[in-house]
Amino acid sequence: MPTSKPIPFDGTGRMRFIKDRWQMKNFFKFFFRFLVTLGYRLSLQHQIPSVQNHKETVVKHEHSSFFIVAHPDDIELFMGREARHQILEQPLTKKIFIVLSAGDANRKNRRKPFREITWWEARERAHTEAIRFWDQYRHPAIESEVEIHGHHFFKITIGPSIILYNLRLTDADKTTSLDTLVQNKNQHIFDLTYDQAYSLDDIQNILFDLVQHETQGLDKANFYIMDESYKRNPQDHKDHKATSVLFRDIYPKFSHLDKNLYGYLTYFIKDKEINLQDEDREKSFATWTVIADELEKYGYKRNDDPHHMQWVGKEYNSYTVRELNEK
């Protein structure tokens, strides 16, 4: 019959006991992370079609457009008309949507009881579904994992000309955020899938490499960001500004491209008039309904409430910077 060995109460035994507890605690910590990641991947199996079972038409693109924002619904809310028109009217333009944060609003990976996925996962899926709505549901969303500079994150492909990159960095964290990262370059921010640490240099290097990769063989690119100036765009979210600031720091490095940079107003437009007309206005409201439906599907509160609707049906471009290839 097996017997347990008593732990001596001298200093050596106590230290060994503490060490064993520490090792066990870390074992369960990493085992829990493994289960969370495995569960997430399994949940995607019935959400994302297999790449092996789907073939897309190869398109020879002429130029590319990058929409670079902080949160999963920033594109839909502040520059949706531009993105939707490009999807419908520019088949030879490669559209790349890059979202830096998970949009978890400091909820991290906490999940409400009886919910299949977390709040941020529901927001991300709503973002994907909105872009599929703009594409008139012609193509499935196919997810894959990419690695750049030792960091793993997710890429979603919708048809031959639409690509989404989601870094899933923590949003509105009490100790660090995109804003504090820009303000204090020695800090790190973590993602919610693998708990990887990102420095400011890491994020900028990843963005640089993504642009380089997605513009291979092309000489023209448009970039769409949220206006980083509090003078032009007051009352804005700090992470909106931080995302645009960190991108504008590397923007001059793309000197090999004929490029245009477009800035958009954000929360400031709530008191401005609805300026989208006819079908554009209709699709703006319909897009927000798609997002709200997706959140509700996973058991979360709809966001087509009066607060969010202050920004729907509006789109204000605040500046444009045009630069030609320096060569």
Residue 2 reports pLDDT greater than 80:
no
Identify the pLDDT of residue 81. 98
Written as six digits, the tokens of 152 are 């793993």
Asked if 137 and 125 touch (Cβ cutoff 8 Å), the reply is no
Identify the pLDDT of residue 105. 87
Identify the pLDDT of residue 326. 55
Alpha-carbon gap, residue 218 to 190, rounded angstroms? 33
Identify the pLDDT of residue 106. 86
Mean pLDDT value across residues 14-30: 49
Written as six digits, the tokens of 267 are 């929360």
User: Long-range contacts for 149-154 (Cβ within 8 Å, ≥24 apart)?
Assistant: 149/202, 149/205, 149/206, 149/209, 151/191, 151/196, 151/198, 151/202, 151/206, 152/193, 152/194, 152/196, 153/191, 153/193, 154/193
Q: What is the pLDDT of residues 48-78, one digit of tens each?
A: 444 445 566 789 999 999 999 999 999 999 9
Residue 310 reports pLDDT greater than 50:
yes
Residue 303 or 184, more confident? 303
Alpha-carbon gap, residue 130 to 287, rounded angstroms? 6
Q: Is the dihedral of CA 7, 10, 16, 19 positive or negative?
A: positive
Mean pLDDT value across residues 108-128: 92
The confidence band for 263, taking pLDDT boundaries of 50, 70 and 90, is very high
Identify the pLDDT of residue 172. 73
Asked if 257 and 115 touch (Cβ cutoff 8 Å), the reply is no
Identify the pLDDT of residue 174. 67
List Cα–Cα distances, 22 to 6, 32, 245, 258, in angstroms.
18, 15, 41, 56
Identify the pLDDT of residue 166. 98
Average pLDDT, the chain: 86
Mean pLDDT value across residues 189-209: 96
Question: Among 48-52, 94-98, 311-315, 322-326, where is mean pLDDT lowest?
Answer: 48-52
Angle at the Cα of 111 from the Cα atoms of 109 and 112, rounded to 5 degrees:
160
Mean pLDDT value across residues 235-251: 96
Mean pLDDT value across residues 77-97: 98
Residue 207 reports pLDDT greater than 70:
yes
Residue 293 reports pLDDT greater than 50:
yes
Residue 107 reports pLDDT greater than 70:
yes
Question: Among 77-81, 105-109, 172-176, where is mean pLDDT lowest?
Answer: 172-176
Asked if 115 and 300 touch (Cβ cutoff 8 Å), the reply is yes
Tally Cβ neighbours within 10 Å of residue 169.
26
The confidence band for 250, taking pLDDT boundaries of 50, 70 and 90, is very high
Alpha-carbon gap, residue 312 to 264, rounded angstroms? 14
Residues 6+ apart with CB under 8 A from 16: 7
Mean pLDDT value across residues 233-260: 95
Alpha-carbon gap, residue 164 to 238, rounded angstroms? 23
Alpha-carbon gap, residue 207 to 69, rounded angstroms? 12
Alpha-carbon gap, residue 48 to 118, rounded angstroms? 17
List Cα–Cα distances, 127 to 102, 120, 132, 188, in angstroms.
11, 10, 9, 26
Identify the pLDDT of residue 234. 95
pTM score:
0.83
Residue 315 reports pLDDT greater than 60:
yes
* DSSP for residue 209: H
**% of the chain exceeding 90 in pLDDT:** 73
